[in-house]
A and B are shown apart, each in its own frame.
Chain A
Amino acid sequence: MTAVSPAQTGSGTGAVRTAPRGLRALTRHFHRYWQLWVMAAPAIAFVAVFAYIPMYGLQLAFKEFDFSAGITGGDWVGLKYFKQFFESAQFWTLMRNTVVISVTTLVVGFIAPIALALLVNQVVGRRRKKFLQTATYLPHFISIVVIVGMLQVFLSPTSGLITRFVELFGVTGTNFLGSSSAFVPVYVISEVWQHCGWNSIIYLAALASVDTQLYEAARIDGSGRFTIIRHIDVPALIPTMVVLLILNMGNVLNTGFEKIFLMQNPLNLGVSEVIATYVYKIGILSNQFSYGTAIGLFNTLINFAFLVAANQIAKRVANTSLW
């Protein structure tokens, strides 16, 4: 807005003259667009307060928490809390659990919707297709608490539906909820059950825009149905896949806090304690605010780095990127 032309910056008077000029441009801008500013103002204010002030509060990770100073913290302690975290006994367990859960979810949760979209796309008949889609989207809207509640009743070692079902095949004495080896599969499978349908919408949209003449041509060439899927449908999905993959990369260390927290019990804590739940317990439940902030910041930074890296790679390799 304060456009300073090179000719004017040279002389002292020029600098004086540019100030009112920039001001005039600014006045004109506000005169013309003040209504748009008014419309955007509430949203800007909410984001400033509830997103940017907490970012400003990240300095707490490098400071000693001081009750009176609040979000800006007290004495500077540098990397003390990061060191404390890296050297703590939990560090590697937390990292391993977080990475295992998030990467498994990422991979399975990435592939399943693509497979579902390719399958649904093969269904002939608009009504049938629509019904299948509607049904598979439904679980997406069930709350996490209810999902975990359903897992608990279905997997209950004495009366659970699924426990009884596996008993039909002679597998007895399984305790899905209390075993550490079952935690990740149960988490990931229920995640796919809930979100696979919903996440396939975007791929179905991409498939709907495939030129039907391509199919016709492939048929004339004598291609089978699998060949058509491999050489027409899958390539049509690649741009969408790349974008979603980048977005997912920004979440490598983000695990669904609520669901994991709700699924935790003393028996599975060894594999179910992740960074997000640990931050909650350290920060909120035991009031170690600076330590909690440091762990949270570490988590955010790793995610952000992965996102930026994925975006750069995609830019080079696939010519698609978020920015």
Chain B
Amino acid sequence: MKPTTQRRTSLRNRTPGDLAFTIGVAVTCVLILFLTLYPIYFVMIASISDPTMVSTGRVWFLPQGISTFGYEQILDDSRIWTGYRNTIIYTVVGTAVNLLVTLPAAYALSRREFRPRRVLMFVFAFTMFFNGGLIPLYLLLRDLSLLDNWLVFILPTAVNVYNLIIARAFFENSLPEELYEAATLDGSNYFQFFLKMALPLSMAIISVIGLYYLVQHWNDFFTGLVFVRDYDKQPLQIVLRDILISNQAFSGGAGGSGGSGGGSYAQQYADQIKYGVIVVSTLPIIVLYPFMQRYFEKGVMIGSVKG
């Protein structure tokens, strides 16, 4: 690893100025790490601490006076679990549809001998910069009777052009042309080549855009807000909004903060439920995160090849 060692020496401290610089870098990095991770950590410890201790500022780095009240309330609340179930369905079905639509199209558009691909790419890319806006989309979905229909979480977002471009760039740059020529000589057609050669060699990109789509569905709040009224169809994010931001009361009576009774008993418990809800809804992402992280990064790299 020659470049690495070279880099090392170039960063080695040679003067007092360099030393001060290194210390400055280290301090700034530690500060950034703290600012990034502490809020998340605090939510976690606050969700299991005694609410009174939290609201009076006695919880800073370790949970104090363990209390599971918040989580008990959450377990008892059916809205959260309905939302959870809906979100899981929308995420799984949605991501599957996304991949089924995006990958073959990306492959077709990556074939250099396919002349119409330039026009088609323009047709796709244009939608990234220009769109009909909210109201025409709303009226269209109404005409298609997709309002209040669970398919509204799946169909309008079936293709994400950014992901299509990433996948196309990957197919274009990482499948050797010789491979295709050899397969054609063996009599395989586009379908066969795509299924038997292109896909198995592209697990990296499938993971990348699959995970992008997954997170997009998991965090989708807009669709539920604008296009769905029926509460039984609402995803987790809408339920979260009602609990976290609209301060809707919990079944147990706690949660609804009148706003006036600031440091009151009800307020403290409402806060604990909020911390718990944040943990419960974000945990799947945080747990998966370390495994997904390298794929996400790869996606940005591939995407940046073709701006």
Is A202 in contact with B304, judged by CB distance below 8 angstroms? yes
Please, which residue of chain B has its CB at the minimum distance from the CB of A59?
B136
Known contacts A153-B274, A193-B36, A215-B7, A39 near B129 by CB under 8 Å = no
Asked whether any CB of chain B lies closer than 8 Å to the CB of A77, the reply is no
Please, which residue of chain B has its CB at the minimum distance from the CB of A154?
B39
Asked whether any CB of chain B lies closer than 8 Å to the CB of A93, the reply is no
Distance, CA A158 to CA B268, complexed state (A): 10
Contact of B6 among A43, A56, A143, A212 (CB under 8 A): A212
Distance, CA A161 to CA B35, complexed state (A): 13
Is B11 in contact with A122, judged by CB distance below 8 angstroms? yes
Asked whether any CB of chain B lies closer than 8 Å to the CB of A109, the reply is no
Contact with B along A42-74 (1 / 0, CB 8 A): 111011011111111110100000000011000
Is A54 in contact with B137, judged by CB distance below 8 angstroms? yes
Is A143 in contact with B304, judged by CB distance below 8 angstroms? no
Contact with B along A82-120 (1 / 0, CB 8 A): 000000000000000000000000000000000010011
User: Could you jot down 15 A-B contacts, CB within 8 Å?
Assistant: A40-B120, A42-B105, A46-B158, A134-B290, A136-B32, A137-B293, A143-B221, A145-B240, A145-B241, A145-B245, A148-B244, A158-B55, A243-B307, A284-B226, A296-B132
Is A124 in contact with B55, judged by CB distance below 8 angstroms? no
Contact of A289 among B135, B156, B281, B290 (CB under 8 A): B135
Interface positions, chain A 218-277, Cβ under 8 Å from B, are 218-219, 224-226, 240, 243, 247, 250, 257-258, 261-262
Is A197 in contact with B36, judged by CB distance below 8 angstroms? yes
Is A297 in contact with B133, judged by CB distance below 8 angstroms? yes
Known contacts A39-B107, A296-B133, A149 near B21 by CB under 8 Å = no
Chain A residues, Cβ within 8 Å of B156: 50
Chain A residues, Cβ within 8 Å of B109: 40
Min distance, Cβ A296 to any Cβ of chain B, angstroms: 3
Known contacts A46-B155, A119-B29, A56 near B244 by CB under 8 Å = no
Asked whether any CB of chain B lies closer than 8 Å to the CB of A80, the reply is no
Known contacts A43-B101, A212-B7, A215-B10, A53 near B132 by CB under 8 Å = yes
Asked whether any CB of chain A lies closer than 8 Å to the CB of B49, the reply is no
Asked whether any CB of chain A lies closer than 8 Å to the CB of B18, the reply is yes
Given A141-B289, A284-B226, 19 more pairs with CB closer than 8 A: A33-B190, A35-B191, A39-B105, A39-B191, A57-B137, A135-B37, A138-B37, A142-B219, A143-B282, A145-B244, A149-B244, A159-B54, A159-B263, A159-B267, A201-B301, A202-B304, A284-B138, A289-B139, A292-B135
Is A119 in contact with B244, judged by CB distance below 8 angstroms? no
Chain B residues, Cβ within 8 Å of A262: 221, 241, 245
Asked whether any CB of chain B lies closer than 8 Å to the CB of A7, the reply is no
Most chain B CB neighbours (cut-off 10 Å) among A141, A154, A297:
A141
Asked whether any CB of chain A lies closer than 8 Å to the CB of B140, the reply is yes
Range of interface residues on chain B? 35 or more
Is A124 in contact with B215, judged by CB distance below 8 angstroms? no
Min distance, Cβ A218 to any Cβ of chain B, angstroms: 8
Is B137 in contact with A50, judged by CB distance below 8 angstroms? yes
Min distance, Cβ A247 to any Cβ of chain B, angstroms: 8
Q: How many A-B residue pairs have CB under 8 A?
A: 280
Chain B binding surface, main DSSP class: helix
Is A51 in contact with B132, judged by CB distance below 8 angstroms? yes
Contact of A50 among B10, B29, B155, B289 (CB under 8 A): B155
Asked whether any CB of chain A lies closer than 8 Å to the CB of B73, the reply is no
Min distance, Cβ A246 to any Cβ of chain B, angstroms: 9
Is B190 in contact with A143, judged by CB distance below 8 angstroms? no
Min distance, Cβ A165 to any Cβ of chain B, angstroms: 9
Asked whether any CB of chain A lies closer than 8 Å to the CB of B164, the reply is yes
Distance, CA A139 to CA B4, complexed state (A): 30
Contact of B159 among A46, A193, A198 (CB under 8 A): A46
Please, which residue of chain B has its CB at the minimum distance from the CB of A218?
B10
Min distance, Cβ A90 to any Cβ of chain B, angstroms: 17
Chain B residues, Cβ within 8 Å of A205: 300-301, 304
Min distance, Cβ A143 to any Cβ of chain B, angstroms: 4
Chain A residues, Cβ within 8 Å of B104: 39-40, 42-43
Contact with A along B202-214 (1 / 0, CB 8 A): 0000000000000
Distance, CA A202 to CA B302, complexed state (A): 10
Chain B residues, Cβ within 8 Å of A156: 271
Known contacts A159-B54, A159-B268, A225 near B137 by CB under 8 Å = no
Distance, CA A43 to CA B108, complexed state (A): 11
Distance, CA A205 to CA B142, complexed state (A): 44
Distance, CA A296 to CA B138, complexed state (A): 12
Chain A residues, Cβ within 8 Å of B32: 116, 119, 132, 136
Asked whether any CB of chain B lies closer than 8 Å to the CB of A123, the reply is yes
Is A304 in contact with B244, judged by CB distance below 8 angstroms? no
Is A42 in contact with B100, judged by CB distance below 8 angstroms? yes
Please, which residue of chain A has its CB at the minimum distance from the CB of B222?
A258
Is B262 in contact with A157, judged by CB distance below 8 angstroms? yes
Chain B residues, Cβ within 8 Å of A75: none
Asked whether any CB of chain A lies closer than 8 Å to the CB of B183, the reply is no
Chain B residues, Cβ within 8 Å of A158: 55, 262-263, 267
Is A40 in contact with B108, judged by CB distance below 8 angstroms? yes
Chain A residues, Cβ within 8 Å of B9: 216, 219
Distance, CA A205 to CA B129, complexed state (A): 25
